[in-house]
Amino acid sequence: KFTVPSVIGQCCHATDSFTINKLNENRGIIFGGAVCKNGFSTRTNNVYIFKVTQATIHWESVKRGSISGGGLRPKERSDHAGAIINGAFTPPALVVIGGMDSNNQLLNECLLFDNVTTGQYNCKKIRLPESVAGRYLHSLTAVTISPNCVWLVIIGGYKGVGWRDIGGGIKQPKVLPITDSNRVIMIVELVCIEAGGEWTVQSVLGGNDLTSKKYQEKYDIYSKTRTWWMDQLMEYPTEKEMELERYIQLLQEKLQVAHQNKVSLQEALVEANQQAKVDDHKLAMKEKLEEVLKAQVQVHEEKQIITEENEKLRAAVAYNEVWITEIEEEKRQIEEEKRKVEDENKQAKKEKEQIDEEKRQLEEQYLIEKQITKELKTKVADNELYTAKLLKEREQWSHIKETSTIGLQFNYLIPSIDNLEYLSDVQVAKRKLFLIQGDKPQLMNWEKYGLRIGVQGDSLLPSDTVEVAVVALVGGQFQFPPNTVLVSAVYAVSLSKPLLKRLKLEIQHCVDLTGQPALSRYLKFAIAPVSTPSLPYQFSTVEGGEFKPDSWYGSIQRKKFCLVAIVGEKHLPKSSTNGDESEEEQEEQAEEGTEEEVEDGNSDSSSDSDETKDPPGTSSGAQRESNSNHGVEEEGDTGGQPLFEKGNERVEESKDYKESQHEEAIAPIPCTEISSDFNSKVVVSTGIIENMAYAGLIYYEEKRAEDLVAFTAAKDLNALLEFIDKKHSQAEVGQNILFRFKDYDGHIELKFDAPQEKPFTGWSIEPHLKPCRFLRCDVDKFGEANYPLPSTCLISVYGSPAWCCTIIALFYTTGWSG
């Protein structure tokens, strides 16, 4: 039944070509259109909000100043299209696209009116392509795809006005419809950003895109999820809402009855007025009518109040549902995170158990292998001792057997291992016994301690066997020629019996000859007798050594054995006068005499007479070698004819020369000073000092109250490094470094104030020596009689495990200077 409702507020004027859209159950919005002013159609930009009840329409005109948006006021327009869009967390908003302005010009824009239900009106523009917004007299529909996604479907319309020539110079206007298949139907995807509630354009699809596979897949995905969330958004009335609805329906029924009564009374009153019959009954009826009218107004007011309360309740219920949904989502996320943390903890615990088990197995395996290694070392040592004993006994028996023919070539020699037992005040790194068997060439490799021994073919008879006893020495009471520095370990070599050909000794040195072959001229081999009447052992240089620039080994061929080492000349003496030259010649002659003495005292000799017997009061061994050489056969290191001299006369000369040399010997030059006799001659370094290589070794030892770190520096020689490793056999080896000193008085210093890449909270690093500095002279003294230990700096590392902030593992970097 159609009724004529009552109008409250400012109603809109007679308008056409406008848009009207529904906001909610009883509210709507009207925008734009054309009104008639002074007989002409004028386009407007008026905005009206209306509210419809049973018999009343409440109008509200939105004033110009009440619309915010940075001063944006929509232009006057008509023939446009509009639609209402809704989001899960935003109020309804009006979208307006296209239209014609007051100048009959096409409007190419899209406007968004939001907050239209709250009274806080806001207008903003949404950027769309001209192919979408540039049209009028078209249709616009909003399809809600998801709580935060809306599709705007635009269909048809006109793209402008053209002119058609009808003849006679007369043109008529005509509209231009949109015929492009890609523009006839277009879809705009709007997405609401939850953070600010802003609507933005996600994509624009033309007519050609609607048939693409990508669009079909996207539509299928939205269709599958849309049914589910639509059910979630569906509101089911509560008991109180149903009761309110029933009460409202009852009031509406009463209002309808009252309205019917009002109509009846009005008809009766009209009839009474027409008949002009006024009596008490009619007056009572009039009073009753007034009462009914008052009751009707009261019922209307009560209904309006109930409607407002119902809307408030609905808003509260929607807010509570949103709040509950957010809480449930947060709870779900927390439970998911908790489950992930529990899984990670279980995985970490499992990995820790596996690591502990592997560590336990490795420790057990290490202990077993350590015990096996210890047992094997014990067995090897016992076997070596037993083998040496057997060889010694065999040699003694062989000596007894061959006494009848020994005078043909060589004197009697005691087993080689006994020859080296007379060494005194020396630091032994390692002893080794080698066997030479047969007439084949052989190589005895002892590079672990810096020595190689080469045997030429036919050095023995095929059935012969000779012992070679070698001792690697890292220090002792040694005295080397002036202006020299020791650049190798010292080796004592002895044979059980002489060979037919010379042996080739290859000894490791620490001078880097790479790219500097001229330095090899300043490297010399130095020898000293194994047995000496008094310490220290006096070394003298010999000629004939070979030093290759691409090798760290020097080689020399020897037939007579003693203490052997390599030394380097430190400085070049300046020959300014003939006197200086004569002094150098005298020094060279003195060195040659010393070499002859050493070779003579350690030569392997034989005798054709009975003069090989020891003098009264002497014992076999070292004295026998120096005092019983009759008929010595000596051959120079570089070749030549054998020299035969009377043994006793040669010994006499050696003793006289030794005494004179001892009286004129020059003491070794300390690292911090140079003797005045030599200082006047020094003008330039040979380069040996600057090219000596050194090694820095780091060892870690665990103590109860601290962890101890030891940094040790020594010459880069295998024998010295192996000797140091044995001293720290229970420690863990750290990072090793190789370095050189810049000059003779150089040093190297550890710095503990370097910036650290990793934190060391809870740890304390304390060096025992401050500054932690190594002087070159101190490093070079290792091995001298008064310096049996290498230069070492101890560093204590303390940790505080009881402190909660202490890091588990310490990584600390030290700097270097010098």
Please count the structural domains in the chain: 4
Q: Determine what percent of the chain falls in helix, strand and coil, rounding each to the nearest 5.
A: 35, 30, 35
Chain mean position to CA 278: 107
Question: Quick check: is 106 in a domain?
Answer: yes
Distance CA 43, CA 78 (A): 6
- Is residue 50 within 8 A of residue 59, CB to CB? The reply is yes
Rounded to 5°, the CA angle 35-36-39 comes to 165
Question: Quick check: is 227 in a domain?
Answer: yes
SS3 431: strand
Q: Please tell me the number of Cα atoms within 13 Å of 446 on its side-chain side.
A: 26
Distance CA 779, CA 793 (A): 12
Q: Is the pTM here over 0.85, yes or no? A: no
Quick count: other Cβ atoms within 10 Å of Cβ 774?
26
**Nearest alpha carbon to residue 95 among 41, 51, 132:** 132
Q: What ranges in 101-238 are assigned the alpha helix state H?
A: 130-133, 181-184, 213-233
SS3 711: strand
Long-range CB pairs of 577-580, under 8 A, 24+ apart, other chains included:
580/681
Q: Quick one: 538 and 655 in the same domain?
A: yes
Kindly give, in sequence order, each residue whose CB lies less than 8 Å from that of residue 348, ignoring residues fewer than 6 positions away.
none
Rounded to 5°, the CA angle 524-560-607 comes to 150
Question: Quick check: is 676 in a domain?
Answer: no
- For residue 604, what are the domain limits? 413-664
Question: Quick check: is 408 in a domain?
Answer: no
**Nearest alpha carbon to residue 418 among 383, 388, 380:** 388
Q: What is the pLDDT of residue 508?
A: 95
Q: Is the dihedral of CA 581, 586, 588, 589 positive or negative?
A: positive
Q: Quick one: 188 and 309 in the same domain?
A: no
Q: Quick one: 196 and 282 in the same domain?
A: no
* pLDDT averaged per 10 residues in sequence order, the chain, 818 residues: 81 90 89 90 91 85 74 83 85 92 90 82 88 93 86 93 84 89 91 78 86 80 70 60 71 70 74 63 74 84 86 85 88 91 91 90 89 87 82 69 40 46 78 87 92 90 87 90 93 87 92 92 92 83 91 90 91 56 45 44 36 34 33 33 33 35 36 44 77 92 80 92 88 88 86 87 87 89 83 87 76 85
Q: Which H or E run includes 298?
A: helix 280-401
Question: Quick check: is 562 in a domain?
Answer: yes
Q: Quick one: 436 and 366 in the same domain?
A: no
The amino acid at residue 392 is K
SS3 163: strand
Q: Return phi, psi of residue 43, to 5°.
A: -80, 145
- Count of positions (residues) in the chain: 818
Q: What is the pLDDT of residue 420?
A: 60
Distance CA 555, CA 451 (A): 10
SS3 166: strand
Q: Quick one: 350 and 459 in the same domain?
A: no
Q: What is the pLDDT of residue 611?
A: 35
Final residue of a structural domain among 624, 649, 664: 664
Question: Quick check: is 785 in a domain?
Answer: yes
SS3 110: strand
Distance CA 645, CA 630 (A): 8
Chain mean position to CA 90: 47
Q: Quick one: 347 and 311 in the same domain?
A: yes
**Nearest alpha carbon to residue 507 among 524, 483, 495:** 524
**What CATH number is given to the structural domain containing 568?**
2.60.220.30
DSSP class of residue 276 equals: T
Question: Quick check: is 673 in a domain?
Answer: no
Distance CA 118, CA 620 (A): 124
Q: Quick one: 310 and 390 in the same domain?
A: yes
Final residue of a structural domain among 233, 252, 270: 233
Q: Quick one: 265 and 376 in the same domain?
A: yes
| Token pair of 387 as six digits | 């083998």
**What CATH number is given to the structural domain containing 131?**
2.120.10
Final residue of a structural domain among 372, 400, 428: 400
Question: Quick check: is 337 in a domain?
Answer: yes
Q: Please tell me the number of Cα atoms within 13 Å of 474 on its side-chain side.
A: 27
Q: Quick one: 254 and 220 in the same domain?
A: no
Q: Quick one: 384 and 419 in the same domain?
A: no
- Is residue 163 within 8 A of residue 195, CB to CB? The reply is no
SS3 357: helix
Q: What ranges in 750-816 are assigned the alpha helix state H?
A: 776-780
Q: Quick one: 359 and 470 in the same domain?
A: no
Q: What is the pLDDT of residue 598?
A: 42
Q: What is the pLDDT of residue 196?
A: 66
Q: Quick one: 325 and 441 in the same domain?
A: no
